[in-house]
Amino acid sequence: MTDFTDGLNDEQARAVTHGDGPLLILAGAGSGKTKTLTHRIAYLIGELKVFPSRILAVTFTNKAAKEMRQRLAQLLDEEADNRQFMPWMGTFHSICVRILRMDGAHIGLDGRFLIYDTDDQVSLMKQIMKARGLTDKDIKPRAVLSVISNAKNEMRSAEDFSMSARGPREQKIAELFFAYEKALKEAAALDFDDLLTKTVELLQNSPEIRRKWQRQFEYILIDEYQDTNAVQYALIKLLVNERRNLCVVGDDAQSIYSFRGADYTNILNFERDFPGTTVVKLEQNYRSTGAILDLANSLIQHNIHRTDKNLWTANGDGIDPKLWQLYSESEEALAIANEIQAQIANGRQYGDVAVLYRTNAQSYAIERALRQSYIPYKIVGGLRFLDRAVVKDVLAYLRLLYQPSDRVSFLRIVNVPKRGIGTVSVAKFLDWNDAARRDIVSGLLAVEEADNLTARAKRPLSELGKILEELQQEIDGSPA
């Protein structure tokens, strides 16, 4: 029989083998929290014989979910893509998508709803603003969307926001908020914030559905609990059943997403919210040297709103950290270049050196200094595959076929590849199509009937309609 505590320290093992009831794991940086969380899931499945589908594990990123899935597969001697032994595992958003696809109809959602990403949202907001004679000079679309996102994460609707709006700017945003929600509904689309708020709405308004999901999830585990916001907190409370088998892992000292609405007091108040909580502290750091931990501990001591932890390590003291106080970004960049040259002169290789910066904008001065000093470098990062323009174009075609009323996707692909369809012709087509109450694909196929377009304008629109029709036929004729 596999020992799921093998290779763990005493506190990690205590967390892994915890029985029923709420469990708070306070995990300092580098203390093996992901390992502990994964071993606990494996213990539930392999030792306590909990059926995998009765376990919900929420991670902060898709990457973290993938890594946890791979580790779990190794512990249970299974294949990572064998979903039969896998619990429900993913981000809050991905979990909510699955719930809404299955039960969203109870609050009037089309199960085939689209999910708008940031680019889609900006495109939609620009359309809404243009229809109202507003430009970027009046108000930035991203600024409006940021306000709307904050409101949604505070579980405030457009009506709530409108009632509390003060001054002309907030009143204008309230008007755009209403229009944005209306446009999303017409496109059968949700933004990322909606995935959470609509799931909360579903569980709050339907006791039967709430009980169904509470029965489904016998054990719930939440990673990075210090970064949960109001709507995520509400969702957790709605999913936890009367047995309260909720395990959360986090560190209030690592809460860095308050600008997104994250509330670190969620972890500070966990014992109040769930009386009888077992608290386990992971204080042994496996990542850093003693000198780095001493520095970190001395700084965090000044935070009076925190849980009591003291990180330690068996790694030895290591090299003392250095603090440079510089007065400009160019001076900072030059100091970095000089330090790298000094390290190379002492026998280091360029590949031994990494420069971390907080924002991409900071890289420009550093790159300039490195080039001037003839220091070779490589920028790590770039666009993800799904963020590339050509991929977004293909996805827009597919989304328009999946949801023929998706105006955002239509506007993205109407001239991809170039068809010579002008913005005036596009606007006239949409006006005619809206009046006819057709979806966009049907309108393209019937565009010859449009009395407000010239024959020259109709031709490429009709051709686009035929392309979409042929693609749909290919999809319908393809094996599932």
Cα 297 from Cα 309, distance rounded (Å): 9
Residue range 411-432: mean pLDDT, rounded = 94
pLDDT at residue 344, rounded to an integer: 97
Q: Indicate left, alpha or beta for 23 from its phi (over 0: left) and psi (-120 to 50: alpha).
A: beta
Residue 32 has pLDDT above 80, yes or no: yes
Determine the pLDDT at residue 480: 43
Domain boundaries defined on the chain: 10-90+218-300, 115-185, 329-372, 386-472
Tokens of 76: 């249970």
Of all residues in the chain, what percent carry a pLDDT higher than 90? 83
pLDDT of residue 387: 79
Q: pLDDT by residue (tens digit) across 200-215?
A: 999 999 999 999 999 9
**Is the pLDDT assigned to residue 364 strictly greater than 70?**
yes
CA dihedral sign, ordered 229, 230, 231, 234:
positive
Residue 245 confidence (pLDDT): 98
SS3 50: coil
* Predicted confidence (pLDDT) per residue in 173-204, tens digit: 999 999 999 999 999 999 999 999 999 999 99
338 pLDDT band (50/70/90 cuts)?
Answer: very high
Confidence at residue 476, expressed as pLDDT on a 0 to 100 scale? 80
- Confidence (pLDDT) at 478: 58
Whether CATH 1.10.486.10 fits 386-472: yes
pLDDT score recorded for residue 1 = 62
Sign of the alpha-carbon dihedral angle for 430, 432, 434, 438: negative
High-pLDDT (> 70) share of the chain, %: 98
What single letter denotes the amino acid at residue 479?
P
Structure tokens that stand for 452 in this block: 């407000």
As to burial, measured by CB atoms within 10 angstroms (0-12 exposed, 13-18 middle, 19+ buried), residue 421 is middle
Residue 248 has pLDDT above 60, yes or no: yes
CB contact at 8 A, 128 and 219: no
Residue range 50-84, pLDDT digits in tens: 999 999 999 999 999 999 999 999 999 887 777 77
- State the Cα–Cα distance between residues 183 and 391, nearest whole angstrom: 24
**Rounded to whole angstroms, what are the CA distances from 133 to 138, 282, 286?**
9, 56, 57
Task: To the nearest 10°, report the CA torsion of 91, 95, 100, 106.
Answer: -120
| pTM assigned to the model | 0.82
Burial of 347 (0-12, 13-18, 19+ CB in 10 A): exposed
Q: Is pLDDT above 60 for 27?
A: yes
CB 246 within 8 A of CB 274: yes
Q: What does the mean pLDDT of the chain come to?
A: 93
Query: Which tokens hold the place of 169?
Result: 């700017």
pLDDT number for residue 477: 73
Band (pLDDT 50/70/90 cuts) for residue 116 is very high
Pick the CATH number of 115-185 from 3.40.30.10, 3.90.930.12, 1.10.10.160, 3.90.79.10: 1.10.10.160
- 92 pLDDT more than 50: yes
Helices (H), 32-117: 33-46, 62-76, 92-103
Instruction: Give residue-wise pLDDT tens across range 141-165.
Output: 999 999 999 999 999 999 999 999 9
Domains 10-90+218-300 and 386-472 share a fold: no
Q: Which residues pair with 88 in a beta bridge?
A: 56
Question: In which band, very low, low, confident or very high, does the pLDDT at 422 lie, cut at 50, 70 and 90?
Answer: very high
Q: Which fold has domain 10-90+218-300?
A: Rossmann fold (3.40.50)
State the pLDDT at residue 389. Answer: 87
* SS3 at position 464: helix
Q: Which amino acid is at 276?
A: G
Q: What is the average pLDDT across 262-275? A: 93
Please provide the DSSP assignment of 209-274 as one string. HHHHHHHH-SEEEESSGGG--HHHHHHHHHH--TT--EEEEE-GGG---GGGT--THHHHTHHHHS
Task: With CA atoms as reference, report the closest residue to 51 among 17, 84, 95.
Answer: 84
Structure confidence at residue 381 (pLDDT):
77
∠ CA 356-357-361 to the nearest 5 degrees? 145
The Cα 17–Cα 36 span in angstroms is: 10
